[in-house]
Structure 1
């Protein structure tokens, strides 16, 4: 009897609180809106990149003019109207979650205005053929949309702004990769530093619901389609170990270069030029990207998505130097200050590295090594091994490679940590320099990141304050 009365009391408390259910309805409605927005963002960027390749096919030299002019114009527009939209977007969300950022200051990092700016400028970047991804920007877009839900929550809502930011950022990953589970892991590994046990179920529901919007509109196919592999045989062990070490070294070097070039702490000639003339510097970076792309028949333009698919399909024609060229163009694009992420290019670089190892060792299981390379380089570049592992795991047909993918991610991430600090953690600290002087961390004030105005400094792909990303 007492048990029945207790159940009735709990039901009355839960079902009788209209404000509780109103808050839940608002969060889930915004989760749907976020998922739909990210899907629309994906389609816009695909259309933009297709237009670039159409232009290049019609006029082969057009990237030599269009790409640098666009890079310079994008950076000028970003600095003039939406400086908070520069870079990846993940560092901004991590900075917004930092305890020292007050409620009224979160607009520096996430807002509907920044979400719209990120949407338009990242799409323009792909229209220009620059080597960037839309996944990091999707995190900032999702966080900006979900954060705006706070205006509709009831006064005594148990959902905090912190929870909305976590849900929105992770929903961006879930919808961008069409993998809801990856979104949940991204929230746990990258965004959440203060778990809210009371609302964790609601936050996870919002992330999954946003991911399901992508599944419902784009089908159940994952980001690169299905990677079909045989069982992980013994003859794969030593090529896989070689690949994990290579990914760790390459990803660690990439992360180190990103931190050095984007933090603005160096005083070399190029860093001084970037600080003094950021628009001209962006144009020069765009010209280098165009020169590299034109010299290799256009394989390094864009995010690398189509070439990764071609490698997985076993198509020939991807040269061994693709890894180096894509590495350089992705770094140059990020260094230019154009809004864009590194997730898709990192997957392309890692996949190509796996393909090269397969050719070098003569191993017939190229798809397996490509999948391992994708996991390893993304894990090393972002030092987020669990997120990288789950993103690629959901692409693989079957579960034969689950343990090997996880091992590759952990080994590559471990090697990367020897060479570099966590990418997103370091860049999130740069974002905090944009706070008013009285809110800045203790210690001497650092110089503005390359090409950023004082008091409104730059944002690039990061990992959250502290540890670990794109």
Structure 2
């Protein structure tokens, strides 16, 4: 064999061994990924503890539910004041802030106001308060901003020649937040590719993807290798569910688009009595919205408070203890909670609303509980895809969360149908909300979808 035909294995190996600084940079990034996963685990435990404490307060005697009419508005007013006074960049979901921060032309001080380690700590504390208040909010969107802040904080320790920069670190941290929060590493990777990264080299970076998966594995090591709603097995769709399934996809698309439009329109500046009130008296306005959430919670015995994990799981298990008007009430409570201006995500509440849509359609068609379960799963993926207009992310997340591999094609089709219908009503929600943070500029564009 000629020398020209000799493989470069040993030469490449020597080059890698001599690249000591590159290995240090990689170790720093992977350590940050572990720290991101651990921080999301901490946020998860904090939010669960806050939710459980709120539930104990609500059920503490006959006056407990009525006391929430005072507790929720007062605590929300405090949270709104704290957010606006000390951490204005922590308001809302956090995903639009990350999308703005990913703009390479953004001034460094503006980026730090949207994504940083101190802001991540403040966001986590305020998010715990949101759950303690009993608002209808999820932790998954906020963990995107928290994860991005944790990962970005290690940029100062990387060498100038490091192949991964601040943009890649934020993408890895944001997606790692989703992966660890939902216990779905593959969903985190898809979220990064579909909604965040607009660089081809970042989307193909092995180090970024490894960081996302590693953060997800940290959550798995703490909470166990279980699906998000346990070991539930969702059956495949039969022909008799074809029409109900199509109805679920259409209704989820319409309501998801309406939810996105309501949220964007509510938070956008403009004329109108309510908008002027929100602008001039944000603390009072937040308290009024929280009072509406508390009234809704009183009507439905607290089932609309928090992220909605328990009602969603109850519906997937065929239990009938969810209020008849749960879908509408959860929809309204989530919208009002987001309108307050406190840190609040919509991922998990969207899953709860979608589950309610599937249950309602199953009831409308007179289906047995075992036949309603597939429709509930379709409703979850449909409303999430419509609200976020991220069909691939919604499909992967729900499939992993309900162990719905038998419904792969049905879930995927529903995600694309619902997302397509939503686009007829409203533009991409997170991009539109990001545009509101950058007046006079075009919203950040998600990367082009793969050819289907």
> TM class by shorter-chain length?
over 0.9
Aligned to 2:29: 27
Structure 1, unpaired ranges of 5+: 434-439, 443-463
Query: 1:199 Cα deviation (Å)?
Result: 6.8
Aligned to 2:259: 254
* Match of residue 371, structure 1, among 368, 377, 383: 377
Q: Deviations over 1:409-445 (max 9, x none)?
A: 0000000000111101101111224xxxxxx639xxx
What do you get for the CA RMSD once the two structures are aligned? 1.5
* Match of residue 358, structure 1, among 358, 362, 375: 362
**C-alpha distance in 1, partners of 2:376/2:13?**
51
Aligned to 1:456: none
* Match of residue 466, structure 1, among 434, 445, 452: 445
Does the C-alpha gap of structure 1 residues 360 and 286 become closer, same or farther in structure 2, counting only changes over 3 Å?
Answer: same
**C-alpha distance in 1, partners of 2:393/2:192?**
9
Query: 1:2 Cα deviation (Å)?
Result: 3.2
**C-alpha distance in 1, partners of 2:9/2:199?**
30
Aligned to 2:437: 431
* Match of residue 43, structure 2, among 41, 44, 49: 41
Aligned to 2:308: 304
Query: 1:106 Cα deviation (Å)?
Result: 1.2
> Contact 1:134/1:341 (CA < 8 Å) preserved in 2?
yes
Aligned to 2:414: 408
Aligned to 1:459: none
Aligned to 1:452: none
> Contact 1:133/1:342 (CA < 8 Å) preserved in 2?
yes
SS state at 1:63 partner: helix
Q: Deviations over 1:291-311 (max 9, x none)?
A: 111122111111111111111
Within-5 A mapping of 1:68-467: 68-196=73-201, 200-264=205-269, 266-364=270-368, 365-397=371-403, 399-433=405-439, 441=441, 465-467=444-446
Does the C-alpha gap of structure 1 residues 104 and 3 become closer, same or farther in structure 2, counting only changes over 3 Å?
Answer: farther
SS state at 1:62 partner: helix
Aligned to 2:450: none
Does the C-alpha gap of structure 1 residues 8 and 126 become closer, same or farther in structure 2, counting only changes over 3 Å?
Answer: same
Query: 1:231 Cα deviation (Å)?
Result: 2.8
Query: 1:155 Cα deviation (Å)?
Result: 2.6
Q: Deviations over 1:376-417 (max 9, x none)?
A: 000000100110000001123352200000000000000000
Q: Deviations over 1:264-316 (max 9, x none)?
A: 2x311111100000000001011111011112211111111111111111111
Does the C-alpha gap of structure 1 residues 441 and 414 become closer, same or farther in structure 2, counting only changes over 3 Å?
Answer: closer
**C-alpha distance in 2, partners of 1:399/1:76?**
45
SS state at 1:319 partner: coil
**C-alpha distance in 1, partners of 2:320/2:199?**
48
> Contact 2:33/2:211 (CA < 8 Å) preserved in 1?
yes
- After alignment, is 177-186 or 150-159 more displaced? 150-159
Structure 2, unpaired ranges of 5+: 448-452
Query: 1:85 Cα deviation (Å)?
Result: 0.4
SS state at 1:133 partner: coil
**C-alpha distance in 2, partners of 1:55/1:337?**
24
- After alignment, is 142-151 or 57-66 more displaced? 57-66
Aligned to 1:17: 19
**C-alpha distance in 2, partners of 1:396/1:282?**
35
**C-alpha distance in 2, partners of 1:354/1:234?**
17
Query: 1:151 Cα deviation (Å)?
Result: 1.4
Query: 1:99 Cα deviation (Å)?
Result: 3.0
Query: 1:345 Cα deviation (Å)?
Result: 0.3
SS state at 2:406 partner: coil
Does the C-alpha gap of structure 1 residues 429 and 352 become closer, same or farther in structure 2, counting only changes over 3 Å?
Answer: same
Q: Deviations over 1:99-153 (max 9, x none)?
A: 3313343102100111011101111000010000000000000000000010111
Normalised by the size of structure 1, how large is the TM-score?
A: 0.91
Query: 1:5 Cα deviation (Å)?
Result: 5.7
SS state at 1:288 partner: helix
Query: 1:38 Cα deviation (Å)?
Result: 0.2
